[in-house]
Structure 1
Amino acid sequence: MSIKTFNLFRRFQPWFVLFLKKYNIKGGTFDQHFLIDTGYLDRIVAAAELSPQDTVLEIGAGIGNLTERLTRRAKKVIAVELDPALISVLHDRFDTVENIEIIEGDALKVRFPEFDKVVSNLPYSISSEITFKLLHHKFKLGILMYQYEFAARMVSPPGCKDYSRLTVDTYYFADASILMKVPKGAFQPAPEVDSAVVKLVPRPAPFEVRDEAFFLEFVAAVFSQRRKKLRNSILNTNYMLKIPDVKEVVNQLPEGFMSKRAENLTPEELACVANMIFDLKSR
């Protein structure tokens, strides 16, 4: 056993392992990997800067390791969990705790009550969908665990291999930064990849768009053909964009943009192109 692995193991509370055995919980049924490293759990809660006035949403509460810490700091915790077996565990642990509401259901379908902050070890298979569902809600702060590669795409600068639709869409809604990388060994069962904790701070968009729905569709379209120049990617994806007389519209756009690929344009530049197209197609 390496020194690093030993130090991680030493920080685990044996109680967590016994807890899993007690309920015959193996993890992974619904994309669950339980964070059991107490050091990382404490750092996540500290990053949320919780106050007794905060209502916190937790998605994928699992066996409640993070939940327990949140209930100590927040006014109220709303814990959402899909797995019925884990719902039973949460009720067993927290039914005597007054400041928690447990919701059984799919987080993508559940209607979220109002919340101030969201602190979660998200199921990786729904990372994109759940992030953008959250960003259409009003809240102050998110401290969210993702697969590391996904987190890297959220914060990538233009021109890098990780720069993507996800980067642009995230930047449109919020400031995002990676707070810490979390190794596989901090979880039980261990995932196949490392993870990262991302800080999300929602804010108004830093640039103007004529039509938000069209802008987001435009970004999805041009990044679906990220290796093609913008002119060709727009022409090839007009089945998504539905631009009347698309060739004529493209010919009116500045060559400085059309000769570049989407991955080489900043979010502001992509918004500029989307606005020009929207104005031209609306005439």
Structure 2
Amino acid sequence: MPSLNQSLRAQTLLLLSRHRVQIDPSLDEQQLIDPDVISHFVDYCEIEPTETVLEIGPGAGNLTESLLDKARYLICIEKNPKYIPILEERFKGSGKIKIIKDDALKTYLPKHERLVSNLPYMISEPFFQRTLRHEFKSATFIVPSGFAETLTAEPNSHEYTKLSWLADLFYQIELLETVPSEAYLPEPRVSTAIISLKPRPKQSQVEKTLEELIRQGDKYTKNALREALIRSEWMSAKNEARAFVEEMKLEDNVLDSWVSRLSLSELQSLDQKLREK
């Protein structure tokens, strides 16, 4: 008798063949074919029966099927048009799913409680950056192991980067388990891991202000910082916020830089100056 993952592999190959779809490994199109990994992943999502789930990049829908069993409603955003007919056939008749053909890095993300994805490796970082501007109860992703290690790196370690600082500011992140390469069709060229992101409760005014600052990535720091002070309710008046920023005596190159282009050292310095006020 074939094993469960051999069976799911065969089913996936048959489905792809029937729709004349070829997987392109260069686009990170690996499909999950291990029922145990899928089951673990869905358990980690902690989906309540009243919740809406947003899945990014469902591909052929192997993970989607298990998510649909748990969620009140499932929204899938798939960029590659070749997978849309597969998803529509596979979930035809279900009133619990909406399939959107679009780019998850650009399109509007509908309201949801749980965010999930077997993320295409090339968009792991830009999509993580996008999550900083959105609200959810938790996010569960499969990402390259190296990316997971960066997100969970300790300060002053070799792996610690600006991305690590952002991750620690916004989230409680847990590396849950590694995923064996044979869990995919085809097997990936990098090792992967399942991670969980849960919004970190903001305990201090500084943390609230920094979070509001980062969410204004496309603004100049001097403008975004004043706005962040008001949004975080540290201050209520614009002239008060303007005077506060002037008193911080930040370098002109920092004030005139877009927030998204601030370096790790610049963010850490800004953090320290806020804590000294």
Q: TM-score, normalising length from structure 1?
A: 0.73
Match of 1:69 in 2: 66
Partner in structure 2 of residue 25 of structure 1:
21
**1:174-229 Cα shifts (integer Å, max 9, x gaps):** 11010011122211122110101110001334551555576687xxxxxxxxxxxx
Distance 2:98 2:183 in 1: 27
Q: Distance in 1 between matches of 2:196 and 2:210?
A: 27
Deviation of residue 20 (structure 1)? 2.5
Distance (whole Å) between structure 1 residues aligned to residue 83 and residue 273 of structure 2: 45
Runs (5+) with no aligned partner, structure 1: 1-5, 218-236, 244-261
Change (3 A) 1:86 1:211: same
Match of 2:233 in 1: none
4+ residue runs over 4 A deviation: 6-13, 209-217, 237-241
When normalised by structure 2's length, the TM-score is: 0.75
- The residue aligned with 2:103 is 106
Corresponding residue of 1:154: 151
Q: What is aligned with 1:273? A: 272
Q: CA deviation at 1:74?
A: 0.6
1:168 alignment partner in structure 2: 165
Are residues 1:35 and 2:32 paired? Answer: yes
**Partners of 2:202 and 2:80 in 1: CA distance:** 36
Call closer, same or farther: CA 1:98–1:168 in 2, change over 3 Å.
Answer: same
- How far residue 238 of structure 1 moved from its aligned partner, in angstroms, is 6.6
C-alpha separation in 1, matches of 2:203 and 2:23: 40
SS at match of 2:20: coil
- The question of whether the paired residues in 2 share the 8 Å contact of 1:135 and 1:202 is answered with no
Task: Give the Cα separation in 1 of the matches to 2:41 and 2:115.
Answer: 11
Partner of 1:224: none
Q: How many residues of Structure 1 are paired with residues of Structure 2 in the alignment?
A: 235
| In structure 1, C-alpha distance between the alignment counterparts of 2:210 and 2:47, rounded to whole Å | 35
Equivalent residue for 1:14?
Answer: 10
Q: Calculate the aligned-residue CA RMSD, in Å.
A: 3.1
Contact 1:11–1:38 at 8 Å: present in 2 too?
no
The amino acid of 1:130's aligned partner reads: F
Task: Compare 29-38 and 135-144 and name the one that shifted more.
Answer: 29-38
Question: Unpaired runs of 5+ in structure 2?
Answer: 218-250, 258-263
Which aligned pairs between 1:92-241 and structure 2 lie closer than 5 A?
Answer: 92-207=89-204, 208-209=206-207, 210=209, 212=211, 239=253, 241=255
CA–CA distance in structure 2, aligned partners of residues 160 and 47 of structure 1:
28
Return the alpha-carbon distance in structure 1 between the equivalents of residues 85 and 105 of structure 2.
21
Q: CA deviation at 1:132?
A: 2.3
Give 1:146 shift.
Answer: 0.5
Counterpart contact for 2:8–2:35, Cα < 8 Å? yes
Q: Which whole-Å CA distance do the structure 2 matches of 1:205 and 1:163 have between them?
A: 22
Pick from 227, 251, 256: which aligns with 1:242? 256
